[in-house]
Every structure is written in structure tokens, then in C-alpha cells.
A = this chain, B = another copy of it.
Amino acid sequence: MNAKQSEDSGCGSQATAGAQDDNLDKTLSKITNKLIVMSGKGGVGKSSFATNLAVTLAAKGFSTGLLDVDLHGPSIAGMAGVTGLLDVTRDQQVIPKTVGDRLKVVSMQSLMRDPDQAVIWRGPAKTGIIRQFIADVRWESLDFLVVDSPPGTGDEPLSVAQTISGAKALIVTTPQDVALADVRKSISFCRTVNLEIVGLVENMGPFACPCCGETVELFKSRGGRVTAETMNVPFLGTLPFDPQVVKACDEGAPIAASGNGGAFVEALDEVVQAVVGRM
């Protein structure tokens, strides 16, 4: 891709904790809006939504960064169509991959030589690597940073929330009860760690049969809206289920960039406008 090798010189020594804090402040100070995309439960389409959100923001003219800090199941690089390992400068700064004119992508995936290797991180090691990974990326100025956080309410989302000061949360769910039970935990988590919630997005909504047009509720319906109202969180909209979204993510060609995404892309655009309006 377009990432160029830096000419900066560096001493090559390990950054101290203090230097890392300086790096972190410097990195974050250049970013206007920081969004952490979260879900209580895995498999609700969080990474796919984060990717399509970042692509849409870039298409709207915002300079946008997309960061994946999922240590166990990083998938953003593949979904955004980014291949190869990331370049690292001599002073240990990570250079994002660029996609199109305004989107920069950094994924844990792009630091692993063997993508099938299971990285068995214990808790404290995770916190350190997440902090370092956010501090040491050379984003330059960004209008939006979209962070795809690991699901749940454990070490990883906690480290992300504590590291990115001034960030706001976007919570993704599917409509069924078992996902909503976990979403209520996510909302309680955000409130516990003082993370402002931009709103709730309901993914995998109604599916229209491509043969007869019948609408089927694969994962039930309206649960996201009702939960948002009950928990007093803004509801940002429902995205319909479309197998093309799954396929497009697998192929590294996000549907938001295809110019041909039908009802899903229309609904996504409304959600993104709601997000921008709330920043």
C-alpha cells in the first residue's frame, strides 16, 4: 500500500513508561473525535460495522483512522482489504496502511507473521500491548479515529477505554434477547468507566429474501430500540441483514465502498449522519 518507510532516526532503545505516556498524549492530541465501537457479545457484526463506518466517514470527506485492538480475533485488516505487515520506523512508530484518499488502517493482524497462530495473552500483558499499540501509531491529524474494541467487558475494552482519553462509545447489538442482556452490561460498563455513549446501533435486522422479497426476522426485531429507550441511550438506527455485507467483508471490499449496497448502505448512511451529528 501507500505507507512509506520513515526516514526518522531513533535510538532503538525501549521506550520508558513516561516516554510512552508522552507518545500517547501526542498521538491523541491530533485526533478530533475518538469513537470506540463496542459490543457486549461477539459476532454481532461489530468489526464489520466499524469498517463500514470508517469507510463512510472517509467518503464523506473526513480524514479517518481505523484501529483494531482485538488481540485474539483481529479482523479489520482483512475486512478493509489491507494486506502485508505494517511498516515500523526505527524509533518504533507504526505507520498505518492507507486505503484511498482519507482512510488509514492499523490492525493487530498486520503485526502477526503467522495469522493462524493463537496468541495466548494473559491479562496484564494485554493491557501493556494495547496501551503501546495505541501510543505508537503515527496517525498524524485525523477528524475521526474509529477503534474496533474486543467484545465484552473485560481487560481489553477496559484498557482501550482507559488509554484513549476523551473517547466516546458506539455500541453494536443484534435484536435478540441473548445479545441484549450483554448490551445492558456494556452500557453499565461505559457508565462505570465514565465513557460517554454516542448511541446504540442495531445490526442484523430484517432480511429480505432475494427470491420472493419476504422479510424474515433472523435474530428477532426491535430489541435494540427497546433496550436503548429502556436504558436511556440514544438509538442510532437498524441495519438490515444482507449476506452481501458478510461476503464483502470476507473479500476485503467493504460494502460501503462498493457504491452498490442497496438498503444496507442507505441505512448505514443514516446511522453515520446520526453519529456525526452527535459529536
Binding site for B on A (CB under 8 A): 40-44, 47-48, 71-73, 75, 78-79, 115-124, 126, 150-155, 158, 174, 176-179, 181-182, 184-189, 192-193, 207, 209-212, 214, 216-220, 241, 243, 246-247, 249-250
Contacts and interface: CB of A to CB of B under 8 A. Distances in A.
A166 to B, nearest CB: 20
A48 to B, nearest CB: 8
B243 A185 contact: no
A43 B43 contact: yes
A119 B154 CA distance: 8
B247 A218 contact: no
Contacts of A185: 72-73, 116-119
Q: Which 6 pairs show the lowest CB-CB distances between chains A and B? A: A43-B43, A42-B42, A123-B123, A211-B214, A118-B189, A212-B212
A217 B241 CA distance: 12
A249 B122 contact: no
A114 to B, nearest CB: 9
Given A117-B188, A158-B120, A246-B220, A152 B73 contact: yes
A131 to B, nearest CB: 15
24 contacts: A40-B73, A43-B174, A72-B153, A72-B185, A73-B152, A73-B181, A78-B177, A78-B181, A115-B184, A116-B188, A117-B185, A117-B188, A118-B189, A118-B192, A119-B185, A120-B154, A120-B158, A121-B155, A122-B123, A122-B124, A207-B216, A209-B211, A210-B214, A220-B250
Contacts of A179: 43
A239 to B, nearest CB: 14
Given A123-B124, A211-B214, 8 more contacts: A47-B178, A73-B151, A73-B182, A120-B153, A122-B155, A151-B151, A207-B216, A219-B243
